[in-house]
Chain A
Amino acid sequence: DAGVIQSPRHEVTEMGQEVTLRCKPISGHNSLFWYRQTMMRGLELLIYFNNNVPIDDSGMPEDRFSAKMPNASFSTLKIQPSEPRDSAVYFCASSLILAGAYEQYFGPGTRLTVT
C-alpha cells in the first residue's frame, strides 16, 4: 500500500488567497483525520471523519477553514481566505476503527506558508 498520500507537499501563497489541501487515505480505512502542527502549539486535531461523515470539527479554528470527504478515498481541507497565522504543516491521517484498539497512519504533510 502506498500509505496516506497528501498533495501538495509544499504550498506558498499570499494572504487572502484560497488554499486547498488534498488527502488520499489508505484503502480500506474508515476514518480520516486532519491535523495542524506548529512549533508553538504542537499537533492539533482539526477535524475527523468516520465513514465519510464529519464527526467532530471542534478543532477547526474558524469559519475560514472547511473540510470535505466526498468519498472514502478523498478528502480536502480548504482555507479561504488564508492568513499568515495559518502557516503550519498540515497532516492527514487515516485508520481502520473497529472494536478494539486502532492505529493512526499519517501522511507526509503539506507545509503551508502564507505571506
Chain B
Amino acid sequence: KQEVTQIPAALSVPEGENLVLNCSFTDSAIYNLQWFRQDPGKGLTSLLLIQSSQREQTSGRLNASLDKSSGRSTLYIAASQPGDSATYLCAVDPSGNDYKLSFGAGTTVTVRA
C-alpha cells in the first residue's frame, strides 16, 4: 500500500523567503504526482502535475521536482508572499490504471508579512 508522507506538518517563514516543501512515498512505481493547495474552508486547487517520466515542472514561482528512485518530490516556492499561506498536499497516482490518488496529510504554510 502506497504511503505518502509530508514533513514538516507546519512551516512559518517571513515574507520573501523561499519555501521548500517535502513529499515522500514508499512505492517508487508511480504514474504521476500532483501538488495541490488548500485554503481554509475551501477545496483543493491543482498546482502542478509531474508525470513519472519527468523530473520537474515549473509554473511561475512554483517548481516541483520528482525523484522516483528515492521516492521523493519537492515543491519550491520562490520569494514567498502572505498570499501563499495555505496547506499544500501532494498526491501520488500509484498505477495509472485506476486513478486512485494517495494523499499526504499536507504541510500548512504561514508566510509572515
Interfacial residues, chain A to chain B (CB-CB below 8 A): 4, 31, 33, 42-43, 45, 48, 50, 55-56, 91, 93, 95, 97, 100-109, 111
Contact = CB atoms under 8 A, between A and B. Distances in A.
B32 interface: yes
Interface in B57-105: 89, 91, 98-101, 103-105
Contacts of A33: 99
B98 A42 contact: no
A109 B91 CA distance: 18
B49 interface: yes
A107 B101 CA distance: 16
Contacts, number: 48
Interface in B23-61: 31-32, 34, 36, 41-46, 49, 51
A101 B31 contact: yes
A100 B44 contact: no
Contacts of B34: 103-104
Interface of A: prevailing SS: strand
Interface of B: 31-32, 34, 36, 41-46, 49, 51, 89, 91, 98-101, 103-106
A108 B101 contact: no
Nearest to A92: B43
B43 A103 contact: no
Contact of A91 (B41, B43, B100, B104): B43
B101 A45 contact: yes
Contacts of A31: 99
A104 B42 contact: no
